Amino acid sequence: MDNSLQLFQHSSNYILLASGLILFFAIVSQFLSWRLKLPSILFLILSGIILGPLSEVIFQEGFKLVDGTIIFGEALSPFVSICVAIILFEGSLSLNFSKIKSVSSVVILLTTVGLGVTVILTAMFCYYVIGLNLELSMLIGGITCVSGPTVVPPLMRTVRPKRHIASILKWESILVDPIGALVVVFMLAWFVIGGNYANQPNGTSIFIAYIIFVCILGITSGFVFGYFIGLSFRRHYIPEYLKSFFVLAVIVVGFIITDAMMHGAGLLMVTVAGLVMANMKDIKMSDILSFKENLSIVIISVLFIVLGAEIDFSLFKDYWLDLIEVFLFLQFILRPIVVLLCSIKSKTTFAERIVMGIIYPRGIVAASVAALVAVRITKSHPELYSEANTLVFFVFMIIVFTVVFQSIFTPYISKLLKVTEPEGKGFLIIGGNRFARELAEVFVKNDIEVVITDSSWANVQKCRQLGLNTYYGSPVSAHADWSINLVGIGAMLGLSTSEYVNAVSAMKYKYEFGSNNVFVLRASQKESYKGIGSIETSLANLLFDEGVDFNTLIDRLNQGASIRSTNITPNYPLEKFFKDNPNAVALFIIDDNGYAQPFDKDKRLRFDNYSLVSLRDDVNKTRDQLCLDV
């Protein structure tokens, strides 16, 4: 390396430059993920490759734009460990046991029998066919068995499989995430620690005892720390502005203490802590999920760009054929066999099983655990440095291959086999206020799918009492991405009392449904709202006539009006309807195919028979029956 480059690489200016590049590529990767509906890890790893191995080829001096060993030094290993602990904690927060009760037997089989078969057959293939050593083969088998809820939902939105298929794949990804990670934790303990007892008398017994103590310590400490955080939230010991920092501090400190006592127990501890918190009653999960989303985006972005930059691309010339063989085996042989085995007694069709057999991308947990395993192997057994590099290379490349292949080809295969849902005709409604609820009821009566999202628990409760599908939380959160089932949904209605919420929701969902299928309602005609309203017009279509806004509609509802649908026919045309109901506000029309669209008085309809959804006076309602509500 040139002396000037060498001096620069070991200076503080290099660290500043590398840090800036990491943050720049991180935000670009996250934006591309959102815009293209692809898992963020794909762009993060590719960014790391550009900043690491590719830049090294360009400069040809052994100089990399991002070199984790120089930026972090001795802190790289603990940094990776803490990041992985937070990622596993985040993943386990999704496991609410009350929701798992309704999971089908196929999901249970896929996450137990299927997981075991995947680990064993992958390890056997790598060992007997590829020729890797036994330890490395087992670790690749254990790590590549993990998918996750961060990579499956983007594929679901692209593929749009039938509802029950989407449900199976979603719950499989949620359940297999922490289970697969724990499998690797025990494998790592066997690899790193078991070897120390291999040649000792009763070595196997000592190792089994060690694993038992790891489980006892990890489960106990996880319960204690998880319950401590949940109890602090339940009794309001922690002020709102400190909650995110409090969760982070307790989890990291708990991980450090537990892992220092017994290697491997720390990762089990954070997983159990997340499970405990996810299933505690009377605590606001929105507080925890806010921490989870804001922090994990930063951690995941920085971690995987740094790790991607550390990939040794010189391994390509030695393992490119082996890598392709492993990918083909996982994608076209192993996964279809596992799905057929676990769904043989289910009601899924053969075509549906083929699609399920294609969709199983590897993601964040697989990559983070691979990095942690490599770091710990290198630290405990420096002579295994090359094996650790090979492990990371294989796992990261398999992640890229599976995500790219499945994102490109699965939508076409699904359409060819006719296992996709028809184009969605339902509505994602932002806001659970009275107008939104009454409108949703009319849609449901006309067989139109509706999902209402609101961050007000009171509004969500009222919606659920009416039997409406709901999501409690922010519609633009990462949690909403994999929690809201958009199968059958083709448009968004921004009916929130907050024009800001309507605007940011429109900005997000116009890429999901298309700008022509995103609509927002004016909150008021007041001058103070016109600035926000002008922003909305560039993001979405404004609902109803200019004189109709949220306050007007709520006032009419409080005065006794109600939302109803009326059949418009040549014998009862629109003119006759307005003559009979001069104060009616036309809202939507529903055609014979069940598709609803906002009413536009200036748009000429190409059909004579349809249902008109309108707000009109209810002459049968007495003053005592009126309900003043929003």
- Using one digit for the tens of pLDDT, what is the confidence trace for 563-599? 888 888 888 888 888 888 888 888 898 887 888 888 8
Instruction: Tell me if 157 sits within 8 A of 487, measured CB to CB.
Output: no
407: nearest Cα among 455, 370, 367, 360: 360
> Considering the chain, what is the average pLDDT of its residues?
81
Domain identity same for 410 and 430 = no
Rg, the chain, Cα only:
28
Domain identity same for 351 and 464 = no
Domain identity same for 230 and 365 = yes
Which range marks the domain in which residue 452 is found?
426-625
How many other CB atoms are there within 10 angstroms of residue 408's CB atom? 11
Q: Does residue 421 lie in a domain region?
A: no
- Residue 502: CATH number of its domain: 3.40.50.720
Q: What is the DSSP letter of 529?
A: G
Domain identity same for 252 and 275 = yes
pLDDT surpassing 60 at residue 619: no
**Phi-psi domain of 403 (left: phi exceeds 0; alpha: psi -120 through 50; beta: other):** alpha
- Using one digit for the tens of pLDDT, what is the confidence trace for 403-435? 888 888 888 888 888 888 777 788 999 999 888
- Residue 102: CATH number of its domain: 1.20.1530.20
**Amino acid residing at 531:** G
Domain identity same for 411 and 437 = no
Domain identity same for 488 and 384 = no
pTM of the model: 0.76
- Using one digit for the tens of pLDDT, what is the confidence trace for 42-96? 888 889 889 888 888 887 666 788 887 788 777 777 888 888 888 788 777 777 6
pLDDT surpassing 50 at residue 531: no
Please identify, among 416, 449, 475, the residue that sits at the C-terminal boundary of a domain. Answer: 416
Domain identity same for 233 and 296 = yes
User: Measured between alpha carbons, how far is 580 from 395 in angstroms, rounded to an integer?
Assistant: 69
Instruction: Tell me if 126 sits within 8 A of 136, measured CB to CB.
Output: yes
User: Measured between alpha carbons, how far is 166 from 176 in angstroms, rounded to an integer?
Assistant: 15
Domain identity same for 279 and 382 = yes
- Using one digit for the tens of pLDDT, what is the confidence trace for 466-490? 889 988 888 887 778 777 877 778 8
| Ranges assigned E (strand) in 358-516 | 426-430, 450-454, 469-472, 489-494
Please identify, among 387, 416, 445, the residue that sits at the C-terminal boundary of a domain. Answer: 416
User: Measured between alpha carbons, how far is 227 from 250 in angstroms, rounded to an integer?
Assistant: 11
Please list the residues that pair with 561 across neighbouring strands: 617
Instruction: Tell me if 482 sits within 8 A of 412, measured CB to CB.
Output: no
Q: Does residue 169 lie in a domain region?
A: yes
Q: How many separate domains does the chain show?
A: 2
Question: From the centroid of its chain, how far is CA 315?
Answer: 32
pLDDT of residue 623: 44
Domain identity same for 325 and 473 = no
Domain identity same for 444 and 394 = no
Domain identity same for 389 and 409 = yes
- Using one digit for the tens of pLDDT, what is the confidence trace for 160-194? 788 788 878 888 887 787 777 777 777 776 666 65
